[in-house]
Amino acid sequence: MGAAVYNLRLALLAEGVRPLVTVRPWEHPGAEAVIRNGGSGALDDHTGPQFRHLEARRTNRKPFADAAIPADHRHRLARAAEAEGAWLEVVDSPVQQSRIQHLLAEAHAIQIRDEAYRAEFKHWTGRLPADPEGVPLTAAGPAPEQQDRYVLRDFGQGQGRQRWPGRDFEREPLLVVLATHSDGEYQQVRAGAAMESVLLTATALGLATSFLSQAIEVDRTRHEMGRVLGGGLHPQTVLRVGFGTPVPRTPRRNPAELVMTPTP
């Protein structure tokens, strides 16, 4: 929801409108956010590249190159999160990396034992290319294997492209955790906007991104993830960042299906 709001803000700025956003407004209890016309506005050096790369953003589940991310790129990703009131923690400590590795594996094991989770995951993945929802096989990425350092989900349901022998995922991906200083539905919408700001900034910098969300989706491991960050932060998502090869665009629903005409 927060990511959608952020994209709407960029689109309005591109049309010369300054958006005024109220998250979870008390006067509209059924709305997650309300956007109002705030007068004239324009894209700037921060939002301009994001808007120009909006349609190019992809979730890239393929292996990334074993190449270091420049320090300037890392700083710009962090600033993109901070501009939306969030914190982006770059996980470069071997101790933190090891703990997150184990938390991802633990959360993944908990989820795959849950029949309802398995049914929902199966429903939304392995879709046909023309399906406007879910994850099609073209975006599933290679099949995960036991030797992968970080546990990966099988978005291809066993039909994903098999990997060449010895062609593993990168050994040292850049992991970043997007977190907020407090938690709740308001903060989670704001976190979604910060996440989209980070993803679009990464796209503009020529970086590829994908999600390692399992540990965020299980209460116990999410709490432990907060401790990994040193306490005082509420993790909202985990991203894998690197230099990747292009991936195809996935289908989307017709925007007309998502627009409601106000009743008089």
At 39 the three-state DSSP class reads strand
176 forms beta bridges with 90, 239
**Within a domain: residue 30?**
no
Rounded CA-CA distance 30/25 in Å is 9
**Within a domain: residue 88?**
yes
The parent domain of residue 182 ranges over: 58-258
**Within a domain: residue 132?**
yes
The predicted pLDDT at position 195 comes to 98
Render pLDDT for 97-120 as a digit per residue (tens, 0 to 9). Answer: 999 999 999 999 999 999 999 999
Render pLDDT for 123-170 as a digit per residue (tens, 0 to 9). Answer: 999 888 888 889 998 899 888 887 788 888 999 888 877 666 655 677
Q: Are 174 and 93 in contact (CB under 8 A)?
A: no
What's the CATH code of the domain at 102? 3.40.109.10
Rounded CA-CA distance 186/68 in Å is 35
Q: Which residues of 95-109 are buried (b: 16+ CB within 10 A; e: fewer)?
A: ebbebbbebbebbbe
Render pLDDT for 214-256 as a digit per residue (tens, 0 to 9). Answer: 999 999 999 999 999 988 899 999 999 999 999 988 888 888 8
**Within a domain: residue 9?**
no
**Within a domain: residue 119?**
yes
Which alpha helices (H) appear in 31-155, and where do they start and end? 47-52, 71-82, 94-112, 115-124
The predicted pLDDT at position 168 comes to 64
**Within a domain: residue 252?**
yes
* Predicted TM-score (pTM) above 0.85: yes
**Within a domain: residue 3?**
no
Q: How many domains does the chain have?
A: 1
